[in-house]
Structure 1
Amino acid sequence: MLYALVMTALTVAYRLVAATALEIPNFSPVMALAFCGAIYLREKWLWAVPFVALILSDLWLNHYYLAQYDYGWALKELLLRYGCYGAALGLGWLVSRRKSWSAIFGGALAASFVFYLVTNTAAWAVDKTYAQTLAGWWQAMTIGHPEYPSTIFFFKNSLISDLSFTTLFAVVMEYAALRAGKPSLLTPANPHPPKLHYAH
């Protein structure tokens, strides 16, 4: 619990600093926090913690963007993003039922791809500068608007951040389990398992 709360607080702090000072586009730990929260937080009501942290930081960032750039997020945009984080939560729950390193990385990859697919498809659907055709959808998924960095650039940043922060969170939580004497994926497999003796 302590590790999870500390990581949540650090996630919010990093997100605010990254968005306002570092200005690294689409490099955020929030997706990884939602995904790993469902894997490691046993009490389901604690799954709301990442969303509370996200909403509070969104409120502050929205105020910051309005003051600095006269730009804010629309409610539909926020709800769509929260839906993607909810999907990450569901993927984390599935992974928690049969946890392994391959399942964790596969789930993080899937969560990142869902966010990319859903948000860019939604942008294509509402942005009338895109042709409402398959070619226009492909432009929204790959190039985006020519005056901005490509959509693939943003997806690459999201993918790297999701995998990196998922690895960090998972290692910390597995280490906490190891210290507490609980089963952990960090526990090396015994190369010489004890021999079983059967009575005849």
Structure 2
Amino acid sequence: MLIAALLLVLACGYRVVAALTPDLANFSPLMAIAFCGAVYLGRRKLWLVPFAALLLSDLFLDRYYAAQFGYHWDASGMVVRTLAFAAAVAIGFAVARRKSWLNLASGILGASVLFYLATNTVSWAGDVAYAKSAAGWWQAMTIGHPEFPPTLFFFRNSLVSDLLFTGAFALAMEWAALRRAQPTLLRTADVT
């Protein structure tokens, strides 16, 4: 449980610091933790860590964006972010059954794209600044609000961080399995 608590504090802290540093906005380990937790961890309680970190950091970031920009996140956005993380866990379960480097990469890529499409579509649907048309949806997917960086910038950061943190987590877990003489993806002879 100490590892889960430490991971929760680090993930929340990292997400908040990244949000306060414009170049790191949306560069976070949370999606990778949710996805890899389902792929590698047998203790189901640890799967709650990314959800708790998401909720706690969302509460802080909502207050920060409201004070800084007068922009509040609504409950529907929080629900969709949580559901997107739950989908990442489900994708992780599927990858765990047929674990390979290709499945790991395509699984986290799918989770990242799903998160991007779902959260930006909810933003488009609920934000009065977006026209309720295909052009307004496209604006929400690409450039977003003029006072913020383009949403494609946020997606790029999310995608890179998801791939990077998933790779780091997977390598650590595979190295640990190798040290325990368990089957691993690092030795292709062990993969059937």
Give, in angstroms, the shift of residue 188 of structure 1.
4.5
Q: Would the aligned equivalents of 1:37 and 1:50 in 2 still touch at CA under 8 Å?
A: no
Unmatched segments (≥5 aa) in structure 2:
none
- Amino acid aligned to 2:116: Y
The residue number in structure 2 matching 1:175 is 175
- Amino acid aligned to 2:146: P
C-alpha separation in 2, matches of 1:136 and 1:65: 22
C-alpha separation in 2, matches of 1:28 and 1:98: 26
Q: Would the aligned equivalents of 1:34 and 1:88 in 2 still touch at CA under 8 Å?
A: yes
Query: Residue 46 of structure 1 aligns to a residue in which SS?
Result: helix
The residue number in structure 2 matching 1:25 is 25
Determine what percentage of the aligned residue pairs are the same residue. 54
The structure-2 alpha-carbon separation of the partners of 1:184 and 1:3, relative to structure 1 and needing over 3 Å to count, comes to farther
- Within 5 Å, which residues of 2 pair with 1:1-200? 7-20=7-20, 24-65=24-65, 72-189=72-189
C-alpha separation in 2, matches of 1:44 and 1:70: 38
C-alpha separation in 1, matches of 2:7 and 2:188: 25
The residue number in structure 2 matching 1:196 is none
Superposed CA offset, 1:97-151 (max 9, x none)? 1000000000110011001101111111112222212222112212222333222
Task: Give TM-score, length-normalised by structure 2.
Answer: 0.84
Unmatched segments (≥5 aa) in structure 1:
191-200
Superposed CA offset, 1:60-111 (max 9, x none)? 4445555666655322221111111111111111100100000000011001
Superposed CA offset, 1:138-190 (max 9, x none)? 12212222333222111111111111111111111111111222111112538
Higher gyration radius (CA): 1
* Comparing 69-78 and 135-144, the one that deviates more: 69-78
RMSD: 2.6
Task: Give TM-score, length-normalised by structure 1.
Answer: 0.81
Structure 1 or 2: more helix by fraction: 2
C-alpha separation in 2, matches of 1:33 and 1:159: 14
Q: Would the aligned equivalents of 1:3 and 1:176 in 2 still touch at CA under 8 Å?
A: no
- Amino acid aligned to 1:83: L
C-alpha separation in 1, matches of 2:59 and 2:12: 12
C-alpha separation in 2, matches of 1:42 and 1:157: 29
How many residues matched? 190
C-alpha separation in 2, matches of 1:99 and 1:4: 24
Q: Would the aligned equivalents of 2:76 and 2:122 in 1 still touch at CA under 8 Å?
A: no
The structure-2 alpha-carbon separation of the partners of 1:131 and 1:84, relative to structure 1 and needing over 3 Å to count, comes to same
Q: Would the aligned equivalents of 2:88 and 2:111 in 1 still touch at CA under 8 Å?
A: yes
Give, in angstroms, the shift of residue 21 of structure 1.
5.5
